[in-house]
Chains A and B, each alone.
Chain A
């Protein structure tokens, strides 16, 4: 069990933060943070005994909590408490963030944002169901499959080439190192009515300012795909470089076609990365906000004060934050539940599909 060493091999030991010299003529060993001294009771004709000098793990116990202290305080204040508090606010009426007062508990907030119950003024709130939910779902179900598929193809192509691989990889990474607002504004110039896109395709479509929301969705989705691809390529490439070349040699010997090799070897072996990318990008797409601000300078195609026809769920949350905190909280809880359901669903589906 223990491999006792002479004093020379184990000179000193730290006891309660101080270095203590070990008494001579004893034998010591260290195992699982316990320094053990061998005590001979030969003279009394008693059997050997093992006595622990210091249980380091017991000492580490409070020390570890000291190291974790700052993080635990911050997580409690800025992560755990807000989570509980937001759910709490979602069930209160007219929560005032400045004073912390509210007019009792209600579940009407969810009814109000979903347009089922009238607000206190008697009118129905329609922005959430009319704009925020459909827009968010369009963004999610258009951009996530498009960008994932495109990123996969680009990564496979990048992985198969020899020259300029690093240069091209860096170019494809560039959209990651940009300011979302700044490049959103550049896209609004590109898609301007007198901009380069209309000029190149010889069309006369209003894409951004004053556009039909259905048409305005196109530049928005292109922008989101463009900006979300770099991260995916990086993850896929690191996954591809980890795949054993033997699989491809075997496929070559069996004279598999390129498409079949991609579908039968690359995709299954890349499935952990694909799952990771799908989970994170679904969550990211549900929270799309800055791209709308960058592109449209407001919640809709008419700018800051127009109809919020390009609003997303998160946009709705931020808009109501200070004036209608309860509604914002209800929308946030709604988003949280949707994201949670989607993540769970993906993990359930992936159980049979992902190979580790």
Chain B
């Protein structure tokens, strides 16, 4: 038995005895064939390859199926908005509208005052974003660059306020804006705007985010600017702000999206329907068929399309900034 396995082979015209009798060695081109449990390396490799391909296919099937489930509500929104009422509630559900009803949108534009709500939302978004950016830039600069007594403890107090649920604040903020005379009978449009803008001029989270960003800017730049006789003010606007632009863009877009989605506070503080924001307008509009008293899902979904599409456009154009801004939150607790 051993004699069969044991072979002699030649290396550089010298005869050597095979030191590893369990390996079969052939002489001419030195073909080494290692076997484990009766299988060669090639067969093991091939098997591993096959399992890898199969598991990859399974991962793709799993993830694509989930992705389809994730986009299904969006797909359903699009096709429902183009369906007739009878088709929406029919016993046989269709995955594509038999008659494409563009008239749903025409009707919605008549009932749902999209323009007014859109205008209100954009005005509120612009002014609350500008205010937030200013306060955030100033505070982040002070925390990142300037030295003053109690800096660290003040920053800790700031961070602690992030733990307080917003609902705790809503009640008293309502009392506060009421005492400013911004809420109540005879509220003007400007007062309604003030209610929806001023309380949102701060975000401790954005201050935290921007401070981290400012801190990464090397100290040498600051000292160089000082030596050049630049004041803190011009250093902030000429050096820090341009360098932190990506973060500022992220903050702007997230703030815009926040306003677009805000529902509770505008609902509380606005006296008249025409002062409200887009979410309120959407939920408060009634899309009920006058004859049957049933909800007109086609109109309702067409209206939700109008609210969703601008957000999607924003996402398509600023995907990088949105995902980075949101993701930045989780990098280190």
Contacts and interface: CB of A to CB of B under 8 A. Distances in A.
Contacts of B173: 78, 82
Contact of A336 (B67, B88, B93, B168): B168
Interface string B159-172: 00101111111111
A81 B172 contact: yes
B45 interface: no
Contact of B223 (A30, A322, A343): A30
B63 A157 contact: yes
Given A97-B178, A199-B93, 17 more contacts: A13-B227, A33-B147, A64-B146, A67-B141, A67-B142, A70-B134, A79-B202, A85-B175, A181-B261, A181-B283, A196-B93, A226-B70, A226-B73, A234-B326, A287-B166, A294-B283, A297-B283
Interface in A177-205: 177-183, 185-187, 189-190, 192, 194-196, 199-200
Interface string B138-181: 11011000111101001000100101111111111111101100
Interface in A276-300: 276-277, 279, 283, 286-287, 289-290, 293-294, 297
Nearest to A317: B167
Interface of B: 55-56, 59-60, 62-64, 66-67, 70-74, 76-77, 80, 88-93, 134-136, 138-139, 141-142, 146-149, 151, 154, 158, 161, 163-176, 178-179, 184, 198-199, 201-202, 204, 207, 223, 226-227, 229, 231-232, 257, 260-261, 263-264, 268, 278-279, 282-283, 297, 300-301, 304, 307-308, 311-312, 314-315, 319, 322-323, 326-327, 329-333
Interface stretch (A36-44, A116-124, A138-146, A164-172): A164-172
A161 B63 CA distance: 10
Contact of A287 (B165, B178, B279): B165
28 contacts: A12-B227, A13-B226, A56-B147, A60-B147, A67-B146, A68-B139, A74-B202, A75-B204, A79-B161, A85-B171, A100-B175, A158-B63, A177-B322, A179-B260, A179-B278, A180-B263, A181-B279, A181-B282, A190-B73, A192-B89, A199-B93, A226-B70, A239-B330, A272-B333, A275-B333, A317-B171, A322-B174, A332-B167
B166 A328 contact: no
Nearest to A71: B139
A75 B202 contact: yes
Contact of B151 (A64, A158, A238): A64
Given A79-B169, A318-B264, A182 B161 contact: no
Contacts of B70: 171-172, 174-175, 226, 229
B236 to A, nearest CB: 9
A67 B147 CA distance: 12
B194 to A, nearest CB: 13
Contacts of B178: 97-98
Contact of A189 (B56, B92, B297, B311): B297
A12 B226 CA distance: 9
A303 B321 CA distance: 38
Contact of B171 (A56, A325, A340): A325
B160 to A, nearest CB: 10
A10 interface: yes
Most buried by A among B76, B136, B169, B171: B171
Contacts of B282: 179, 181-182, 185
- Give the 10 A-B CB pairs with smallest separation, nearest first: A235-B330, A82-B172, A182-B304, A64-B148, A19-B229, A67-B142, A85-B172, A64-B146, A194-B89, A199-B93
B304 A177 contact: no
B330 A82 contact: no
A160 interface: yes
Contact of A63 (B67, B232, B327): B232
A216 to B, nearest CB: 16
A65 B148 contact: yes
Nearest to B286: A297
A192 B297 contact: yes
A116 to B, nearest CB: 22
Given A82-B176, A179-B311, A181-B282, A71 B202 contact: yes
A349 interface: no
B80 A189 contact: yes
Contacts of B176: 77-78, 81-82
Nearest to B79: A196
Contacts of B319: 170
Nearest to B308: A182
Nearest to A294: B283
Given A177-B314, A194-B91, A189 B172 contact: no
A255 B143 CA distance: 50
A80 B202 contact: no
Interface string A86-109: 100100000001101000000000
A314 interface: yes
A321 interface: yes
Contacts of A248: none
